[in-house]
């Protein structure tokens, strides 16, 4: 087969879905009738932003520079305005009379005899969103000549949260250091903050909490607020409000009071003054986000006060300025008693917040994670969504892939989010899907919405992987309209990011849409949660780490069975927090969907799923299927060579190949762990049986020494070899004893983040592979986080060949490796 020539152009991913890449001549011709000028009617800075953006986009995609005009059109024009101003020049336009803030109308009308394409916002924000809408339609190659569109956002709060620390590190951030902070201060150069706001505005996001919910009091010190004001300045042209996370103990921690009791008059007055100080410098400040009484953070419980006491005190200070107070429901006891079969972390949010329903002020919003635990690969909807009928709510979704592969694994999260958003809580027997609850529709609340933990960083591609941007895009689009389908969202994103080539679009759409299920298949079966090292990085496998501790992410496996019994009848009673209709879906084994079985029930390994498979065989099979699907992604992606710019092509290919290796690490760790625990072998003979492998510890070692790996299932055979002879090269050799043919040789090694060892592979005297282990994986230890695969394809091997691995340590990394796997690829 002839490959198309590689595209010479390179794309760093910086422009994400706003590339405005030139359309093909045929596509461009569709827009020949577009007016030649763009007029702004109105005096908002956002209208000027809209105009500049429209000119930029049209120039990029169509190669034409629109004339920039102010005031009513004097020729055929694109008019950017607000609905109110539109009425002063075109009384007869079809624009609706009232729209939610941020809403817009796009349509055609004659103004003073000129044919105009009008983008009219309910306010200037709406005009900006409408501008991005028009540009999106052009990029998607849609006909805009007879456009008539009315759009309005689903909810007023469409915010992202950044977990940035003031020193520049980002908690659970995988795209580089903070774009806002460095070394304890706000960065001098905030151009990235402005560009981020542009990306956010393009999908309708209107607020950004810039610092970690694990907040330092310092953010509120007098000399920091002017620095925050500079970030607000960078956001303002894009209509994005600045908000911050606060530490409830700040009045005490900054040394000004000896208490932070929310009912203490001095504390109340401290916060009032502080909020006034903020608004003097940032008049459009959005509000506060609070994490309290959670994971060691101070909270109202210190003084016997409730979350409502704390939230209402802060909300009262913000109210005169129009600010809102988001209070997180992620409050739980992280020192639960593992021996107590009734203890259940999942119950905490409902137990704490449901009794307070109706006690929160009107500008308080309770921010609730989608599931009752913590952003696991699959969880049911949090019962709290149905438990707060008299309280504003926002759903917290995690764009940054903390428990879902940390942007090294391809995982498109929109289908997962939609599972929660579309879930009917059946409150009072009514249709009350989570999306209608958080947008305020179900219980008639004007406030509420969406918070997405995004954690972009200084990496040029923002999230560390251009494919992961689909999640940021998807979050914004869902926050705007949670009724959009995953397929529609990804299709837009792919076209905007990679162009309209049908093969490219079909291939990437399908990879993205299947990727969550794929990841779930090799990391967290049947609702058990992501079986990662919950005490460390939350990245690689660490199956047993969730058990026998106070964190409560238990799945209670023993040698007979697995799963948390959360039933009302015999378990923790968690299911009783749902409405009777939802209880019926989960209380019995018969009704519970397979994919949440272990979240709700404890069953024997031999229990038969609805699919007919036993639980244990499902665990084995799904892990093998997941790996096979990742291998297919590599083949799919390779079919796009030459159709995607070389820079992103090579980057994504590297990531997908890495994912193949790491999915095998996951598969083997989880399957081995459950095999050891259950004693039930894989009916297909794969688990713990790897005929293609030669363990490093069984090779002839020169300088290398075997070590035990902890936990043992994170390495093949539970052991690796390390080269601890400083400054020297170690070697491990074995003889190949299989028939002659073409083979691929894979080396499973450990890439620790405190060194960059060199590896060389020889067949006889011939060097066939060489690399440096210089990746920055989240660990300095040998284990599931760092286990990495190097493939050396296309080797003609003969029986009797000596295969030698040479490792040269560097820094703290002793050139460790696990095994060599050799499989036949041709005759």
Residues that bind ligand GCV (CB under 6 A): 163, 171-172, 212-214, 291, 330, 374, 402
* 378 or 667: CB nearest ligand GCV: 378
* 509 or 533: CB nearest ligand GCV: 533
Question: E strands within 247-293?
Answer: 287-290
d(C-alpha 693, C-alpha 544), whole Å: 25
* DSSP assigned state of 313: H
Query: Residues 6 or more apart from 66 whose CB is under 8 A from it?
Result: 35, 36, 37, 38, 54, 55, 58, 59, 78
Spatial strand order of the sheet with 77-82 comes to 67-70, 37-41, 77-82, 114-121, 104-111, 149-151
Contact in structure between 179 and 170 (CB atoms under 8 Å)? no
In the complex, minimum distance from the CB of residue 216 to ligand GCV, in angstroms, rounded to a whole number:
13
d(C-alpha 720, C-alpha 389), whole Å: 55
* 267 or 397: CB nearest ligand GCV: 397
**CA dihedral defined by 315, 318, 322, 325, rounded to 10 degrees?**
-40
In the complex, minimum distance from the CB of residue 214 to ligand GCV, in angstroms, rounded to a whole number:
5
User: Hey, is 450 helix, strand or coil?
Assistant: strand
* 169 or 441: CB nearest ligand GCV: 169
* 245 or 391: CB nearest ligand GCV: 245
Residue 446 CB: number of other CB atoms within 10 A? 10
* 163 or 649: CB nearest ligand GCV: 163
Q: C-alpha angle 610/614/617, rounded to 5°?
A: 125
* 16 or 451: CB nearest ligand GCV: 451
Among the residues of 461-529, which ranges form H helices?
A: 469-480, 486-498, 502-523
d(C-alpha 308, C-alpha 329), whole Å: 11
* 295 or 428: CB nearest ligand GCV: 295
d(C-alpha 801, C-alpha 797), whole Å: 7
Query: The tokens of 296 are what?
Result: 């060691």
Contact in structure between 310 and 299 (CB atoms under 8 Å)? yes
Q: Cα-atom radius of gyration of the chain, to the nearest Å?
A: 28
In the complex, minimum distance from the CB of residue 784 to ligand GCV, in angstroms, rounded to a whole number:
17
Contact in structure between 140 and 498 (CB atoms under 8 Å)? no
In the complex, minimum distance from the CB of residue 104 to ligand GCV, in angstroms, rounded to a whole number:
34
In the complex, minimum distance from the CB of residue 173 to ligand GCV, in angstroms, rounded to a whole number:
10
d(C-alpha 55, C-alpha 48), whole Å: 11
* 105 or 330: CB nearest ligand GCV: 330
Closest by Cα among 493, 766, 642 to 5: 642
Give the residues across from 538 on adjacent strands: none
Q: C-alpha angle 793/670/513, rounded to 5°?
A: 70
In the complex, minimum distance from the CB of residue 369 to ligand GCV, in angstroms, rounded to a whole number:
7
Place of tokens 């190669």: 63
Backbone angles phi, psi at 253, to 5 degrees: -65, -30
* DSSP assigned state of 527: G
In the complex, minimum distance from the CB of residue 148 to ligand GCV, in angstroms, rounded to a whole number:
43
In the complex, minimum distance from the CB of residue 356 to ligand GCV, in angstroms, rounded to a whole number:
20
In the complex, minimum distance from the CB of residue 212 to ligand GCV, in angstroms, rounded to a whole number:
6
In the complex, minimum distance from the CB of residue 221 to ligand GCV, in angstroms, rounded to a whole number:
21
In the complex, minimum distance from the CB of residue 178 to ligand GCV, in angstroms, rounded to a whole number:
14
Residue 463 CB: number of other CB atoms within 10 A? 26
Task: Give the CB-side neighbour count of residue 773, counting CA atoms within 13 A.
Answer: 33
List residues with catalytic annotation. Answer: 295, 374, 402
d(C-alpha 140, C-alpha 500), whole Å: 7
Contact in structure between 677 and 671 (CB atoms under 8 Å)? no
* 214 or 510: CB nearest ligand GCV: 214
* 18 or 453: CB nearest ligand GCV: 453
In the complex, minimum distance from the CB of residue 551 to ligand GCV, in angstroms, rounded to a whole number:
9
Determine how β-strand 104-111 pairs with β-strand 114-121.
Answer: antiparallel
Query: Residues 6 or more apart from 780 whose CB is under 8 A from it?
Result: 752, 753, 754, 812
* 374 or 509: CB nearest ligand GCV: 374
Closest by Cα among 366, 285, 302, 288 to 330: 366
């Amino acid at each position: 087969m002839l490959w198309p020539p590689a595209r010479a152009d390179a794309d760093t991913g910086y422009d994400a879905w706003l590339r405005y890449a030139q359309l093909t001549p045929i596509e461009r011709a569709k827009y020949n009738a577009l007016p030649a000028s763009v007029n702004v009617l109105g005096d908002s800075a956002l209208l000027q932003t809209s105009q500049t953006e429209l000119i930029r986009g049209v120039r990029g995609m169509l190669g034409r520079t629109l004339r920039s005009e102010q005031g009513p059109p004097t020729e055929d024009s694109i008019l950017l305005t607000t609905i109110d101003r539109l009425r002063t020049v075109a009384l007869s336009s079809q624009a609706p009379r009232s729209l939610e803030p941020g809403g817009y109308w796009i349509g055609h009308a004659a103004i003073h005899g000129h044919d105009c394409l009008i983008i009219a916002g309910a306010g200037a924000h709406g005009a900006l969103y409408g501008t991005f809408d028009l540009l999106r339609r052009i990029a998607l190659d849609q006909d805009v000549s007879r456009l008539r569109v009315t759009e309005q956002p689903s909810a007023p709060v469409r915010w992202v949260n950044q977990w940035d620390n003031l020193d520049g590190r980002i908690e659970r951030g995988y795209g580089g250091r903070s774009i806002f902070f460095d070394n304890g201060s706000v960065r001098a150069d905030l151009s990235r903050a402005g560009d981020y706001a542009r990306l956010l505005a393009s999908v309708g996001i209107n607020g950004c909490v810039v610092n970690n919910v694990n907040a330092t009091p310092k953010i509120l010190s007098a000399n920091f607020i002017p620095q925050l004001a500079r970030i607000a300045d960078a956001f303002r042209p894009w209509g994005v409000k600045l908000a911050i996370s606060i530490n409830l103990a700040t009045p005490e921690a900054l040394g000004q009071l000896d208490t932070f009791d929310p009912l203490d008059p001095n504390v109340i007055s401290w916060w009032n003054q502080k909020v006034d100080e903020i608004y003097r410098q940032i008049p459009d400040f959005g509000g506060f986000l609070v994490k309290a009484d959670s994971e060691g953070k101070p909270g109202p419980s210190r003084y016997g006060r409730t979350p409502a006491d704390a939230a209402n005190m802060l909300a009262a200070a913000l109210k005169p300025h129009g600010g809102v107070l988001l209070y997180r429901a992620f409050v739980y006891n992280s020192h639960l008693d593992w021996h107590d079969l009734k203890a259940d972390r999942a119950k905490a949010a409902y137990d704490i917040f449901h009794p307070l329903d109706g006690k929160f002020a009107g500008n308080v919003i309770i921010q609730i994670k989608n599931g009752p635990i913590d952003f696991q690969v699959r969880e049911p909807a949090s019962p709290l969504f149905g438990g707060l009928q008299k309280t504003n709510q926002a759903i917290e979704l995690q764009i940054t892939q903390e428990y879902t592969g940390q942007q090294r694994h391809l995982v498109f999260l929109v289908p997962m989010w939609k599972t929660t958003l579309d879930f009917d809580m059946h409150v009072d027997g009514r249709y009350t899907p989570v999306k209608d609850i958080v947008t305020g529709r179900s219980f008639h609340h004007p406030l509420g919405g969406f918070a997405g933990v995004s954690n972009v960083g200084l990496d040029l591609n923002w999230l560390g992987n251009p494919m992961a941007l689909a999640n940021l895009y998807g979050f914004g689009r869902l926050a705007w309209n949670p009724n959009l389908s995953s397929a529609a969202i990804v299709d837009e994103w792919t076209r905007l990011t990679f162009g309209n080539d049908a093969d490219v679009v079909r291939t990437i759409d399908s990879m993205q849409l299947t990727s969550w299920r794929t990841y779930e298949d090799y990391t967290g079966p049947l609702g058990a949660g992501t079986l990662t090292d919950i005490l460390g990085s939350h990245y690689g496998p660490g199956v047993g780490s969730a058990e026998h501790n106070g964190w409560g992410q238990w799945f209670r496996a023993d040698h007979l069975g697995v799963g948390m019994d959360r039933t009302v009848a015999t378990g923790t009673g968690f299911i009783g927090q749902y409405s009777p209709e939802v209880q019926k879906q989960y209380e019995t084994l018969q009704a519970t969907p397979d994919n949440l079985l272990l979240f709700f029930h404890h069953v024997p390994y031999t229990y038969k799923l609805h699919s007919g498979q036993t639980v244990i065989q499902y665990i084995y099979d799904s892990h093998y299927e997941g790996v096979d699907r990742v291998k297919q992604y590599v083949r799919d992606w390779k079919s796009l060579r030459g159709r995607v710019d070389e820079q992103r092509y090579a980057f994504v290919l590297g990531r997908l190949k890495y994912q193949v290796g790491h999915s095998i690490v996951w598969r083997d760790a989880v399957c081995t762990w459950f095999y050891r625990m259950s004693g039930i072998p894989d009916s297909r003979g794969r688990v713990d049986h790897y005929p293609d492998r030669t363990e490093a510890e069984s090779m002839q070692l020169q300088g290398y020494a075997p070590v035990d790996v902890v936990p043992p299932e994170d390495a093949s055979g539970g052991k690796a070899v390390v080269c601890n002879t400083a400054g020297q090269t170690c070697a491990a050799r074995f003889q190949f004893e299989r028939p002659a043919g073409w083979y691929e040789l894979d080396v499973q090694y450990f890439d620790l983040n405190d060194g960059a060892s060199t590896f060389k592979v020889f067949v006889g005297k011939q060097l066939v592979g060489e690399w440096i282990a210089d990746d920055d994986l989240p660990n300095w230890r040998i284990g599931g986080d760092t286990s990495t695969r190097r493939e050396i394809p296309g080797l003609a091997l003969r029986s009797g060949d000596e295969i030698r691995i040479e490792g040269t340590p560097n820094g703290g990394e002793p050139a460790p490796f696990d095994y060599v796997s050799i499989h036949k690829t041709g005759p």
